[in-house]
Amino acid sequence: MRRIYSLFFFLFIGAVLLFNACKKDPIEPLPAADTTQNPVPTPTPNPLPTPVPTGVSVDLTTVPYTKLSEYRFFTGALKDQIPADNVFPYKPASSLFTDYALKKRFVWLPSGTKATYLADNKILDLPVGAALIKTFYYDNTEPSNTTRIIETRIMIRKSTGWIFAEYVWNNEQTDATLQMNGSYTPVAWSQNGTSTSVNYRIPSETECLTCHKSNSNPIPIGIQPQNLNNDYPFASGNANQLQYWISKGILENNLPSTIVSTIDYHDESQPLKTRLRSYLDINCAHCHRENSHCDYRPLRLAFSETLLSANMGLCVTPDENIDPMLIQIIVPGNIAKSVMHFRLNSIDENTRMPLLGRSVVDEVGVQLLRDYILSIDDCND
């Protein structure tokens, strides 16, 4: 029996030793990597893209900007003149003649502000910060038969009054640069199938003020209710411009029920005298009114004043003797003796009318005046 116990004891001890021998050795941790010799670079994150500014920018402390594009009045290619949000196109019933240049006009008001009606023939009272934009261009320019933008004029209302900003477009038609000293640029284009050319005048700041002033203070010209009380083809459809502005929240809804309005002087269905009065209002009245450049002359050519034919020069003796044959500003039935016809038909800087803004004769305007003069035979019109 003792042998059996001894055998069992030795077997037990052997099993324990065998079990311990089969156990794995503990895994020693790997030594830490030596980063002092070859440091692992930290990945550099990709920079975030710089956000592109959006929305119109008119900072009254820094305008006028050097480049037209800085205002962000337009979206897409600048030359396409697609207005940005809250930049609204407009067009007066009749347009100023500027050597046959075409025009696009826009208005922008700071958010939360509105223009206010004062009178049919008064400039809308625009808030501080408002901007008026007017681009001059020609279609069918030679030799490539393309559109060429010449200039964009901006007026901005500061707390101290209106300022001018004149931008001249580059040849690439990608942007325009502030230039206030005036210049010339030759333009050739096809006008109704006829090759035409002018040495186009881009006005200086002084020339802008000659027409855009009242008591020597800069003011806009055409943005009057009488000129905007007509339909415009907005993207959403045709609408009366004044009512459209009210609906967009940029004009106070204080208009009278009736506005005495100018018309498109090209519209031959309208009375001849009304057409001529509209032409003279948009082309000449900015100088021939009180407190303006030619207020010393006897003419008063605003639409609201030419119901009185004497204000238009009918049977009125001129205050300047240009030629002994020119005996009155408008002589009934006689264009050869009428000063106004002579001046509108002149390109001499000393005798033409208007003084600025054209270097060629506006044939439509001259014909309109001729037709009117030949249609009357006494001073009672």
Q: Using the structure block, give the residue that is written with the tokens 């059996």.
A: 4
Residues 165 and 232 grouped into a single domain: yes
Supply the pLDDT for residue 290. 87
Residue 240 and residue 375 in one domain: no
323 and 229 within one domain: no
Give a yes or no: residue 278 inside a domain.
Answer: yes
Split into its structural domains, the chain has a count of 2
What CA–CA distance (Å, rounded) separates 375 from 309? 14
| CA gyration radius, the chain | 38
Query: Both 203 and 328 in a single domain?
Result: no
pTM value > 0.75: yes
* 329 and 311 fall within a common domain: yes
Mean pLDDT, range 265-277, rounded to an integer: 97
| Tokens 């206030």 belong to residue | 180
Last residue of a domain, one of 239, 261, 283: 261
H-helix or E-strand spanning residue 241 = helix 241-247
Whether residue 187 sits in one domain with residue 325: no
pLDDT at 288: 87
Distance, C-alpha 90 to centroid of its chain? 10
Residues 169 and 137 occupy one common structural domain? yes
Amino acid letter, 50: T
> Is residue 253 located within the same domain as residue 269?
no
Same domain, yes or no, for 241 and 277?
no
SS3 assignment, position 199: strand
**CA atoms of 178 and 151, how far apart (whole Å):** 10
**Any bridge partners for residue 200, and if so which?**
185
Residue 17, C-beta contacts closer than 8 angstroms, at least 6 positions apart = none
User: What does the alpha-carbon distance between residue 29 and residue 357 come to, in Å, rounded to a whole number?
Assistant: 91
What pLDDT score was predicted for residue 268?
96
Residue 348 has pLDDT above 80, yes or no: yes
Q: Are both 122 and 242 inside the same structural domain? A: yes
pLDDT confidence of residue 50: 59
pLDDT digits (tens, 9 = 90+) for 174-211: 999 999 999 999 999 999 889 999 999 999 999 999 99
DSSP class of residue 365 equals: H
CB of 211 closer than 8 Å to CB of 356? yes
- Structural domain including 133 reads 55-261
Q: Quick count: other Cβ atoms within 10 Å of Cβ 281?
A: 28
